[in-house]
Amino acid sequence: MQRIGTTILVLTMMSICLSSFGPQAYAGPATSKPPAVIDTFSPATRTRLDRIVSEARNRYHIPGVALFVSVPGEGVWEGAYGHADLKTGQPLSLEAHLPIGSVTKTFTATVILQLVQKGLLALSAPISRWVPQVQGADQITIRMLLNMTSGIYDEYQSGSQLLNELTAHPHRTIRPEEVVRMAVAHGPVDPPGTPGYSSTNYVILGIIARDITQKTIGTLITSQVLLPLHLDQTTYSTSSELPSPSALDYIVSDPSAEAVPLYDLSNLGAAGGMVSTVSDMAVWAQALGNGRLLSPSLEAERLQFGSKLGNLYPLPTPKGSGPSLPVRYGLGLFSLGGLIGHNGEVKGYICDVAYSPSHHATIVVFANGDNPTAIPQETAADAITVSIADVVLQNR
């Protein structure tokens, strides 16, 4: 199974524009402050949560981790460990703005479902009206794009034409139509209706939303999701600059970490181009989990999860180290055991945003380092999230 929610360019893009930052030795948790406890998880639970983050940072040499955990009636726990910049020793802030990668898909899907709710679009509509050049477009529906069953090639994976273009021209900005053209040139991976994760689906959804409304997907996300929920620390980015405070991103190769400059996030667009903070994502996890911006009928549609795409595992990985959570995809979000949400990955930035409807519980994990060699099928953020769920959500 490929990494669920891998938005783009972890392995191939490691070589793009590697900076003069150079490798920095990993600084362990001895220099880190544990999270500030603002409610009453038991001392034993707090100790176990603290150990999960420390173990992940030690095992995978992740520079920094920021997180939020809330279980009503049990406790709230939030804070930041480690560093935003290994060279200067700058600590990672809980307020840091980091790319959220494929968590962007949850916003794009919400906008698309709102268009369905308004009668401007149908889940059963074939995509041939908007992208007739896609092979099998008359058989591929909006629903298939949303739930990852289109069969369209994922242009955001190692070896793709897109990555080759960005490797050769790292400062280039590539329009959504160009991404679709590249995917068409490659050809489909499977017949329509076959499960298979592809970020190209969400690039196409962004094009469709724009053509229907005459507004960009970024404008729609801002007006229809960010403003109503007061997510004022979340943005749809069209640059390589992050709001302050932020953190450097690191690709980890034991035992060192290479700081890698961020590319123009517009190349990720509707599939992964957003930036946010832990606190905003805690609000979004709850709104997403409760279907706050959709009608009950559309929320029920959204939560129809398909075939299992794989499993995510707790610490310590690899497989077989503990009880795993199966991953299934719905309309722009996944189920992870009893959790629903999404994960994201942009070069060295990784995150998980998850909500448990049965416990009304929230788990958000951000990190500014990725160790793809150590965890080939998931990220450290995934492993932290599953491990936290094992601790705080009994009988999930």
In this predicted structure, the answer to whether residue 27 has a pLDDT above a threshold of 60 is no
Q: What is the CATH number of the domain that holds 299?
A: 3.40.710.10
Residue with structure tokens 């703005």?
Answer: 97
Question: What digits encode the pLDDT tens for the residues 99-157?
Answer: 999 999 999 999 999 999 999 999 999 999 999 999 999 999 999 999 999 999 999 98
In this predicted structure, the answer to whether residue 159 has a pLDDT above a threshold of 90 is no
Going along 10-95, which residue ranges are E strands? 23-25, 36-37, 64-71, 75-85, 90-91
Q: What is the mean pLDDT of residues 353-376?
A: 93
Residue-level pLDDT at 30:
33
- Three-state DSSP at 175 gives coil
Contact assessment for residue 97 and residue 246, using Cβ atoms and an 8 Å cutoff: yes
Question: What digits encode the pLDDT tens for the residues 280-337?
Answer: 999 999 999 999 999 999 999 999 999 888 889 898 755 545 677 889 999 999 999 8
In this predicted structure, the answer to whether residue 80 has a pLDDT above a threshold of 60 is yes
Residues contacting residue 20 through CB under 8 Å, at least 6 positions apart = none
Is there a cis peptide before residue 72, judged by omega within 30 degrees of 0?
A: no
Which among 136, 160, 132, 120 is positioned nearest to 10, based on CA atoms? 160
Is 18 among the domain residues? yes
Share of the chain above pLDDT 90, in %: 73
**Where in the sequence is the domain holding 234, given as residue range(s)?**
6-392
Higher-confidence position of 376 and 213: 213
Is 145 among the domain residues? yes
Higher-confidence position of 97 and 35: 97
Which among 269, 348, 373, 266 is positioned nearest to 19, based on CA atoms? 348
| The model's pTM | 0.91
Is 202 among the domain residues? yes
Contact assessment for residue 101 and residue 4, using Cβ atoms and an 8 Å cutoff: no
Band the pLDDT of 248: cuts 50, 70, 90.
very high
Band the pLDDT of 14: cuts 50, 70, 90.
very low
Band the pLDDT of 17: cuts 50, 70, 90.
very low
Band the pLDDT of 39: cuts 50, 70, 90.
low
Residue-level pLDDT at 171:
78
Is 1 among the domain residues? no
Band the pLDDT of 256: cuts 50, 70, 90.
confident
Residues 32, 14: Cα–Cα separation, whole Å: 27
The one-letter code for the residue type at 60 is: Y
Is 146 among the domain residues? yes
Question: What digits encode the pLDDT tens for the residues 202-245?
Answer: 999 999 999 999 999 999 999 999 999 999 999 999 998 999 99
Which among 9, 54, 328, 292 is positioned nearest to 197, based on CA atoms? 328
Dihedral (C-alpha) 263, 353, 155, 178: value to the nearest 10 degrees?
-60
Number of domains in the chain: 1
Please state, as a whole number, how many other Cβ atoms lie within 10 Å of the Cβ of residue 187. 10
Residue-level pLDDT at 178:
96
Residues 63, 45: Cα–Cα separation, whole Å: 24
Ordered DSSP codes for 330-358: -SS-EEETTEEEEEEEETTEEEEEEEETT
The chain-wide mean pLDDT, for the chain, equals 88
Residues 224, 107: Cα–Cα separation, whole Å: 9
Residues 92, 73: Cα–Cα separation, whole Å: 29
